[in-house]
Chain A
C-alpha cells in the first residue's frame, strides 16, 4: 500500500518538477523564473523525503534538511537583487 502511495507521489512530484522547468523555460518575467527555481527546490525536498521512506535511509533526510535550511537563501538573494540590486548593504 505504502509503496503504491510512494510511487504515485513520485510520479506527481516529477510532474511538478517538469512543470516548474516549463515555467523556468517560458518565464516570461524574472520573478517567474526565480519562483520556478524555488519550487524546484521545494519539489526536491519532497522527492528526497519520499525516497528516504522508500529506501529507508537517513541520509536522504539530511540532504532534504540542508535544502530546506539553505535552499531559500538563493531565492532570497535573487529577490533582493531584483529589489535593490545591492544584496548586501
Chain B
C-alpha cells in the first residue's frame, strides 16, 4: 500500500484518531496528553509534506473514493494552493497553540479533555479545507461547530462559558444548515458535488434562475461562521473560552472557515451585483462596527474579539469587491491577521495568567514587569494597526488601494474610501489602547499578585508569530510571496494578477489614507475619555445576549405550542392522531384512483384448523381491549395472541419468524411483569360516552382500512424483490436459508446498525436504571401478603435441568442458521431466555455467583466481532462486510460449510444475549433493591 495514495484523508483524520489517545494519555500523566497532541499534529504535518510541492507545480492533487455512487457522492480530498495555505495555518498555529496551552492550563483543568477537543477541532478544520466534495465539506463544517462548542464550553462550571458555547453552536450550526441547502442546490445545478466540476461551472451557476437563493444560503453559512454583521454577536460571547482556544479559533481557524468558503467559491459566485452588495455590504458594516466597538471594551479579550470581527469584515469586504487584486489582498490579509491576532490573544492570556484580570482599567504599566512580552505585544498590535514595516501595513495598503479603484463605476464609490478610512482610524485607536493602557499609563491597580514574565516556553509561540509579522513586513517577497501566489491561483482558478509586495510604493493615496488613519487614530485615543462618556450617554445599549435568549425562548414556546396542538402528553391522543391521518390518507387514496378495490387472484381455502386459529385470535384480541383495565389479565391474553401469531407464521412457511416470535413472547412477558410490579394494577375506566364512541369509530375504521389494504394487495399478483434473494442466496451468500443470508450478508449493514442500536438501548436502560429506587407494593392486588417462599424448589430443579438443554438448542439453531431456519438472532434470544430462566427461578444473587460474565463485555465483544468481520473484508480490498465461505471436511461431522458471515452472526448472537439479559436483570435488580428497602421500612 502506497501511503501517498491516501495521505490527504490521513492528514484530516489522524487528529480524530489522536483525540482519544490524548484523553487516554492524561490518565497517566497530565503532560502526556500535550505531548500526544503535539506529536499527532506534527505527524499530520509530516504526512502532508511529500505532496506540498504539487500546488507549487501549478497542479491540483485529488484523492477520491467512491462513497455513495448512487447519489454521485465521493469521499474526496483536494490539495491546491488555497488548501495548502489553510492547512499550514491550521497545523502550524495549532502546534504553537498546543505548546502555549500546555503552560496556560492550570493543574485543576483536565488536559486530556482539552487536547482531545482541540485535536478533534483541528481535524474538522483540516477536513473543511481539504475537501473536494462539497457535501463532505459541509459535514466537516458542522463538525467544527460541534467541536468548537466543546472547546468554548471547556470550563463547564462557568455559566458564561455554557451560554457562550450554546450561542456559538446555535448560530453557526443554523448557518451550516443553510449552507447545506445551498450546496445541495449547487449540486443540483452543476450535476456534481465535486469542487473540480463546480469551480468550472461559474457561468452556469451565475446564470441560473436560483442564483440569488444559492448565494444567500451559502452566505448565511459564511456570515454566521465568520461573525459578519448581523450574526457577529456570538463571537464576543465565545471569549468565555480558555485563551488558547480563542487564540486558535479566532485567528487561524473557526472564523476563517467562512472566509475560506468565500475564497473557495469566489470564482463561482462572485462578480455579480448581488454578491457586491451582500458580501461587500456585510463586510463594510462589520468592519466599521467592529473597529468602533472594540475601542470601548475594557476587557482585553473583548477588545480583541471585536477587532477580530472588524478584520474579518475587512477581508469579506475585499472579497466583495470581486476583483482579482482584491482577492490577493484578502488572502494576504488572512495570513497576516492569523499571525498577529494569534500572538495578541496569547499575550492577553499571558497577562490574564500573570495578573489575574484582563480589565484594562486595572492592568496598566506592565512594561517594567514583563518587558519581553511587552515588546512582542507592541509589535503585534502595531501590525494590527497597520504601522509600516509590519505585515499588517502591507495588506492594509493593498486594501486601501482596492477601496479606491475596485468600484470605480458605482455611483456610491466615492464613499467607500471614506468609510474605510473611518474604520481604520478606530482600528489604530484600539491598537494604541492595547499598547498604551496595558504597558504604560501608570501603575497596575488592585492586582492580587505581582505580574512577572511567563515561563519561557509559554512565550516562544508568541516570539515565533511576532518574528513572522516582522519578517513578512520587511521581506514579504522572500517569506510570503510563493505560498500567496499559489493560494491566489487556486482561489481564482486562474493566473494570479500582477501585484507588488514592495514596502514602498511612493507617495500615493493609500499612503495618505494610512497616515490619516494613524494620525487620527492617535487623536481619537488621546480624547478617548470624552468619547467613552459620549458613547455611554448617547448610544443605546444593545445586549445581544438578552435579545438572543428572548428570541430562542420565544421560538421554543412557539414550537411547544404547535406540538401541544397535537400531542397532549397522552399515548391515546398520539395514537388517535396517527390512526386518523392513516385512515384519512387511505381514504384519499381510494377516492383519487378508480381501479377496483380487490384483484382477481383466487383466494386460498379455509379449513377447520385455520378457522379455529383465526377465531381464537379474534376473540383474544377483542378480549384484550375489553379486559384492559385489569392489566395482568390483559397481559395473559396478549400471550395467547402471541402464540397464535407464531402458529400463523408456521402455517405460512415462515419458520424463522415463528421461532423468533416464540422467543420474543417469553421475553416480553417477563419484561412486562417486571415493570408491572411497580405500576398500578388497574387502568382507569373511561367514563365519557362521547369519548368511547369516538374511540370505537376510530379504531374500527382503522382496522377495516388495514384489512382492505391488506386484501387489496393480497388479491393481486405482484412480483416482489424476494425472487432476487431466492436466486442469489446460495451462489452469492453460501447459504440456503434466505432469511439468514439476507440478515448477515445482503443486508449485513442494516443488521450491523440494528445491533448497534440494540446495544445502545441496553446500555441506555442500564444507565437509566442504575441506582434507581422505586417503592414496591407490600401486598398483592387483593390485599394479601406476598408468599414467603421466594424460590419454590420444584421451579428451581426444573429450570436447572432445562438450562443445558436450552443452551444446546441455542447452539444448534445458531450453527445451522445459515442453511436452515435459525441464526444468531434467534439463537441469541433462546440463550437469553435460558439465562433469564435461571434468574427467575434461582434469584439474581445465586445466578450471578455462577455466571460471572459481565454482560457489558458480552455486548462489546459481540459488536467488535461484527465490525471486525466488516473491516476484514476491507483489508482484503473488498467492500465493507463482504462475506466469503468455503467447505471443510471433518471426520464424523462430514463436509460442512463455513462462512465468514458466521463470525458476524456470532456478533449478533452475543449482542442479543448481552442486551436482553442486561435489560431484564437490571429491571429485576430494581425490584430487588426496593424489596430490601420495603423490608427495612417494615423493621
Contacts and interface: CB of A to CB of B under 8 A. Distances in A.
Check if A and B associate.
yes
Interface of A: 10-11, 14, 17-18, 21, 24-25, 27, 30, 33-34, 36-37, 40-41, 44, 47-48, 51, 59-60, 62-63, 65-67, 69-71, 73-74, 76-78, 80-89
B647 A74 contact: no
Contacts of B643: 37, 40-41, 44, 67, 71
Interface residues of B, number: 64
B297 to A, nearest CB: 63
Contact of A88 (B609, B633, B665, B927): B927
A76 B839 CA distance: 12
Q: What secondary structure prevails in chain B residues at the interface with A? A: helix
Leading 6 A-B pairs by shortest Cβ distance: A88-B924, A83-B787, A86-B927, A74-B669, A14-B612, A73-B666
A61 B643 CA distance: 16
A70 B670 CA distance: 12
Given A70-B806, A81-B673, A62 B659 contact: yes
Contacts of A59: 650, 655, 821
Contact of B663 (A10, A40, A62, A66): A66
A36 B655 CA distance: 25
Contact of B669 (A60, A78, A85): A78
B931 interface: yes
A44 B848 CA distance: 34
Contacts of B636: 24, 30, 33-34, 36-37, 78
7 contacts: A14-B609, A59-B821, A78-B636, A88-B670, A88-B840, A88-B924, A88-B925
A19 B632 CA distance: 21
B593 interface: no
Contacts of A85: 677, 776-777, 780, 786, 927
Q: What secondary structure prevails in chain A residues at the interface with B? A: helix
Given A18-B616, A77-B669, A89 B928 contact: yes
Given A83-B789, A85-B777, A74 B666 contact: yes
B465 interface: no
B841 interface: yes
Contacts of A21: 616, 619-620, 640
A29 B301 CA distance: 76
Interface in B635-665: 635-637, 639-640, 643, 646-647, 650, 655, 658-659, 662-663, 665
Given A21-B619, A63-B646, A73 B840 contact: yes
Contacts of B792: 83
B777 to A, nearest CB: 6
A39 to B, nearest CB: 11
B673 A78 contact: yes
A18 B614 CA distance: 11
A83 B787 CA distance: 5
B473 to A, nearest CB: 76
Contacts of A60: 650
Contacts of B676: 81
Nearest to A48: B650
A42 B67 CA distance: 53
Nearest to B923: A88
Given A30-B632, A88-B844, A62 B795 contact: no
Given A24-B637, A24-B640, A86 B677 contact: yes
Nearest to A87: B673
Nearest to A22: B619
B608 interface: yes
Contacts of A27: 633
Contacts of B646: 63, 67
Interface in B84-141: none
Nearest to A67: B662
A24 B623 contact: yes
Interface in B167-197: none
B786 A84 contact: yes
A40 B615 CA distance: 14
B464 interface: no
A62 B821 contact: yes
Nearest to B928: A89
Contacts of B650: 48, 51, 59-60, 63
B619 A80 contact: no
B790 interface: yes
Contacts of A18: 612, 615-616
Interface string B885-928: 00000000000000000000000000000000000110111011
Nearest to B833: A70
Interface of B: 608-609, 612, 615-616, 619-620, 623, 632-633, 635-637, 639-640, 643, 646-647, 650, 655, 658-659, 662-663, 665-666, 669-670, 673-674, 676-677, 776-777, 780, 786-787, 789-790, 792, 795, 799, 802, 805-806, 809, 821, 830, 833, 836-837, 839-841, 843-844, 920-921, 923-925, 927-928, 931
Given A21-B620, A81-B632, A86-B931, 15 more contacts: A14-B609, A17-B616, A18-B615, A30-B632, A44-B643, A69-B809, A70-B663, A74-B669, A77-B670, A83-B786, A83-B787, A83-B789, A88-B920, A89-B924, A89-B928
Contacts of B923: 88
Contacts of A11: 608
B787 A89 contact: no
Contacts of B609: 10, 14, 47, 51
A87 B790 contact: no
A74 B639 contact: yes
Contacts of B659: 62-63, 66
B819 to A, nearest CB: 13
A88 B776 CA distance: 13
Contacts of B635: 78
Nearest to B841: A76
- Which of A30, A36, A81 has most chain B Cβ within 10 Å? A81
A4 B836 CA distance: 42
A11 B927 CA distance: 45
A73 B662 CA distance: 11
A21 B614 CA distance: 12
B786 A63 contact: no
- Which of B620, B658, B806 has most chain A Cβ within 10 Å? B658
B837 A14 contact: no
B616 A86 contact: no
A18 B613 CA distance: 9
Contact of A47 (B647, B662, B777, B802): B647
A30 B631 CA distance: 11
B633 A30 contact: yes
Contacts of A47: 609, 647
Contacts of B805: 69
A79 B633 CA distance: 12
B805 to A, nearest CB: 7
A12 to B, nearest CB: 12
Contacts of B777: 85
Contacts of A77: 669-670, 673, 840
Contacts of A62: 655, 659, 821
Given A63-B659, A88-B839, A89-B928, A14 B608 contact: yes
Contacts of A17: 612, 616
B844 A89 contact: yes
A11 B760 CA distance: 48
A22 B786 CA distance: 29
A9 B228 CA distance: 84
A63 B662 contact: yes
Given A74-B666, A78-B636, A66 B839 contact: no
A73 B670 contact: yes
Given A24-B620, A24-B623, A59-B655, A84 B787 contact: yes
Contact of A87 (B608, B615, B776, B840): B840
A73 B795 contact: no
Contact of B843 (A24, A36, A67, A89): A89
A81 B787 CA distance: 10
Contact of B928 (A36, A82, A88): A88
B834 to A, nearest CB: 9
